[in-house]
Amino acid sequence: MKKNYLKILGGITSLGMIFFALQSFIFTKNAPTTVTGEILDMKCYMASGAHGDGHKQCALKCINQGEPMGILAEDGQVYLLVADGHDAAPYNEAKKYAGEQVTLTGSLEKTNGVQALIVMEVKPKAS
């Protein structure tokens, strides 16, 4: 009788540990990532590689017309920028810096080869 009780207790304990491990995996949010680089309009960047000071006015126009926005990091990586579903203000703030250097903080998400930053904070790049 005691052996059966210990088996049942061990089984329940194992199931509980598995449950809590899965819960922590499912509800873990990516730690914030900080990236410094240039805010891009993805349409022109993907079509012709356009970016930099000479493209600033076009980038601003395209982004304000609803074209997708990204950031070209100092290490050459490009991230698609996405608004947070709960607070789009930082994403909208980033639009003002089209063609400029910024430091952006967000949650890094990768899906099927696409890497995106859900924008949480944006600041002009410190000199």
Identify the CATH number of the domain in which residue 119 sits. Answer: 2.40.50
Instruction: Judge if 58 and 87 occupy the same domain.
Output: yes
Residue 77 has pLDDT above 90, yes or no: yes
Instruction: Judge if 111 and 89 occupy the same domain.
Output: yes
Q: What is the average pLDDT across 89-102? A: 95
Instruction: Judge if 4 and 15 occupy the same domain.
Output: yes
Instruction: Judge if 41 and 96 occupy the same domain.
Output: yes
**DSSP state letter for 18:** H
Residues 123 and 102: beta-carbon distance below 8 Å: yes
Instruction: Judge if 67 and 102 occupy the same domain.
Output: yes
Instruction: Judge if 68 and 12 occupy the same domain.
Output: no
Instruction: Judge if 52 and 8 occupy the same domain.
Output: no
> 91-122 b/e with 16+ CB inside 10 Å = b?
beebbebbbebbebebbeeeeeeeebbbbbeb
Q: What is the pLDDT of residue 85?
A: 87
Instruction: Judge if 66 and 86 occupy the same domain.
Output: yes
Total domains present in the chain: 2
Instruction: Judge if 47 and 64 occupy the same domain.
Output: yes
Instruction: Judge if 58 and 95 occupy the same domain.
Output: yes
Domain with 12 in it? 1-30
Give the mean pLDDT of the chain.
Answer: 83
Instruction: Judge if 76 and 25 occupy the same domain.
Output: no
Residues 72 and 38: beta-carbon distance below 8 Å: yes
Instruction: Judge if 12 and 25 occupy the same domain.
Output: yes
Q: What is the pTM of this model?
A: 0.75
What's the alpha-carbon Rg for the chain, to the nearest Å?
22
Q: What is the average pLDDT across 72-89? A: 94
Which pair of tokens denotes residue 120? 């949480």
Confidence of residue 13 (pLDDT cuts 50, 70, 90): low
Residues 109 and 116: beta-carbon distance below 8 Å: yes
Residue 108 has pLDDT above 70, yes or no: yes
CB atoms within 10 A of CB 79: 24
Confidence of residue 10 (pLDDT cuts 50, 70, 90): low
**CA–CA distance, 67 with 45 (Å, rounded to integer):** 11
Tell me: the pLDDT tens digits for 26-62?
444 578 999 999 999 999 999 999 998 888 999 999 9
